[in-house]
Amino acid sequence: MEEPGSSTLEAASRTSPDDIIDPRHEKRNYWLTVINGIMTGGPSTLFDPNTVVAAFIIHLSGSQALVGLVSGLVMLGHVWPQLFVANWIEPKPKKLFVYHISTVLRLASLTTLGLLIWVFRHDLPGWFVYAMIGLLFAFWSAGGFSAVAWYDILSKTVYSYKRPVLFAWRQTGAGIIALLAGGVITWALSPRSGLHYPLNYLFLLSLMTVLIAIGILCFNLVVEPAETHAIKKRRPFREYLKLGPQIMREDHNYRRLFWGQITFSLAVMNTPFLVPFLIKDIRVDDSIIGMLMVVAAIADLIINVYWGQLGSRKGNRAVLVLGSKLSAFSPALALGAVLLPRFALFGVDIRIVLVALSLVMSRIAGSGLGVGRMNYLLDVAPLGMRPSYMGFMNTFSAVSMIIPMTAGSAIQLVGYWPVFALAVIFGIVCVRVTTNLDDVKFTSHPNGYRPEES
């Protein structure tokens, strides 16, 4: 049995050739993956954890700590299964079966939540908020269960030079739907809809579930080629655990990418508390949530095409660096909203404007890192070890799940401004860490681009 010694990384191919991709199915796979991203990303804003779910929790319990818990559980659900799944599927030539399992689990958890809201619609019991959080955590965990397989399949079905543009298409299309979703949210949570609480939230959840199901089912139709560089046997899990720290020690880009993720999470830890700040402190109506989502979606539409073009022209490091620079502005704007007194600008409370700008800046920075982070990891990961590179990276990054929970508790103890000020400092650190990543340049290749570390 091969143990994770130095030979593991040295023997692995450090390039990312596209030779395994079947050109007969590449176009079909490309557009199925695009539709998958559009129909899972855009509709997810209808029940977004940082806005709609946060507002729902405030109505159910009034707890800022639970708002922070949900934001942390999104990250935990995404990462906790990945290390186990990576070790399990790395020797397997095909991984799409994992996505099939995830499809059932994700749709079942959302359907169960919708049924609970409907059954107890006249009087939601005290335990419901915890049941909702549990079912949403199951939904996010099912997504995490399939994430490693999804990225591995992507690397075998879409040429490397097309991936940044693919992510831009996904996010741009998702942004259009999110823009429409913002209008739907504004309508559903306002008296004009005629939907009484909690049926207004049930409507948003049900619509999201139907649309997401379309996107999930699309990726199930991808034609996956067999992995030619897969290891022969699965490593014993105790030995497999040694591989992660070894990769962290020996691969400086991997290490810097990890710290970039952590500092970015600290830089945008203000984001889950922007809506609660508006509702509880400024006392705006719930319908403002939809307006904020519209503004953020418009910003996404403008920037996402640029992210894809930047990644294809200058590499994914350029996307990461610019995204990290933008992340430092979000908490600074939120801090201004907290510290400034109430006054109107063209009839609008300036604090609402600053919160909207903070949410937009966080969204733009997040979409940039969404395009650049995993694409950069796929560029530098050795062939045959991509599941491990992704699984360990996301597992190590699970430490960031405690950030929003800690921030929520801190806000209840000391208020908004100390937490937001600390986020500004970490935004500056994130820029420093990300800038130290090595550039990965692309040279022409008959079947795509082949990355070469400079």
Contacts of 238 (CB under 8 A, 6+ apart): none
Between 343 and 90, whose confidence is greater?
90
Predicted pLDDT at 15: 46
Residue 10 pLDDT greater than 80, yes or no: no
Copy the structure tokens of residue 172: 């741009």
Predicted pLDDT at 111: 97
Q: What is the CA radius of gyration of the chain?
A: 22
With contact defined as beta carbons under 8 Å apart, do 266 and 330 qualify? no
- Integer Cα distance of 80 and 141 in angstroms: 7
Between 411 and 131, whose confidence is greater?
131
Mean residue pLDDT of the chain comes to 84
Predicted pLDDT at 451: 43
Predicted pLDDT at 109: 97
Confidence of residue 441 (pLDDT cuts 50, 70, 90): low
- Integer Cα distance of 212 and 297 in angstroms: 18
Q: Which CATH superfamily is domain 12-442 in?
A: MFS general substrate transporter like domains (1.20.1250.20)
Lowest-pLDDT range of 227-241, 282-296, 328-342, 439-453 = 439-453
Confidence of residue 7 (pLDDT cuts 50, 70, 90): very low
Predicted pLDDT at 430: 93
Between 415 and 297, whose confidence is greater?
415
Average pLDDT over residues 119-130: 94
Classify residue 76 as left (phi > 0), alpha (psi -120 to 50) or beta. Answer: alpha
Residue 446 pLDDT greater than 70, yes or no: no
Between 169 and 283, whose confidence is greater?
169
Predicted pLDDT at 409: 83
Between 103 and 454, whose confidence is greater?
103
Predicted pLDDT at 241: 84
Query: Per the omega criterion (within 30 degrees of 0), is the bond before 198 cis?
Result: yes
3-state secondary structure the chain: CCCCCHHHHHHCCCCCCCCCCCHHHHHHHHHHHHHHHHHHHCHHHHHCCCCHHHHHHHHHCCCHHHHHHHHHHHHHHHHCCHHHHHHHHCCCCCCHHHHHHHHHHHHHHHHHHHHHHHHCCCCCCCCHHHHHHHHHHHHHHHHHHHHHHHHHHHHHHCCHHHHHHHHHHHHHHHHHHHHHHHHHHHHHCCHHHCCCCCHHHHHHHHHHHHHHHHHHHHHCCCCCCCCCCCCCCCCCHHHHHHHHHHHHHHCHHHHHHHHHHHHHHHHCCCHHHHHHHHHHHHCCCCCHHHHHHHHHHHHHHHHHHHHHHHHHHHCHHHHHHHHHHHHCHHHHHHHHHHHCCCCEECCEEHHHHHHHHHHHHHHHHHHHHHHHHHHHHHHHCCCCCHHHHHHHHHHHHHHHHHHHHHHHHHHHHHCHHHHHHHHHHHHHHHHHHHHCCCCEEEEEECCEEEEEEC
Average pLDDT over residues 224-233: 72
This prediction's pTM:
0.74
Average pLDDT over residues 358-376: 85
Between 124 and 360, whose confidence is greater?
124
Predicted pLDDT at 228: 67
Contacts of 391 (CB under 8 A, 6+ apart): 82, 83, 85, 86, 87, 148
Average pLDDT over residues 76-94: 86
Average pLDDT over residues 2-10: 45
Per DSSP, what are the bridge partners of residue 443? 450
- Integer Cα distance of 163 and 253 in angstroms: 20
Percent of the chain with pLDDT over 90: 35
Q: What is the pLDDT of residues 305-357, one digit of tens each?
A: 788 888 877 888 999 999 999 888 889 998 988 888 777 767 677 888 888 88
Residue 55 pLDDT greater than 70, yes or no: yes
Average pLDDT over residues 260-267: 91
Predicted pLDDT at 184: 93
Residue 449 pLDDT greater than 80, yes or no: no
Confidence of residue 232 (pLDDT cuts 50, 70, 90): low
To the nearest 10°, the Cα dihedral for 241, 247, 253, 259? 30
Average pLDDT over residues 164-183: 86
- Integer Cα distance of 147 and 271 in angstroms: 24
Q: What is the pLDDT of residues 132-169, one digit of tens each?
A: 999 999 999 999 999 989 998 998 898 877 888 898 88
**Residue-wise over 115-154: b if at least 16 C-beta within 10 A, else e?**
ebbeeeeeebeeebbebbbebbbbbbbbbbbbbbbbbbbb
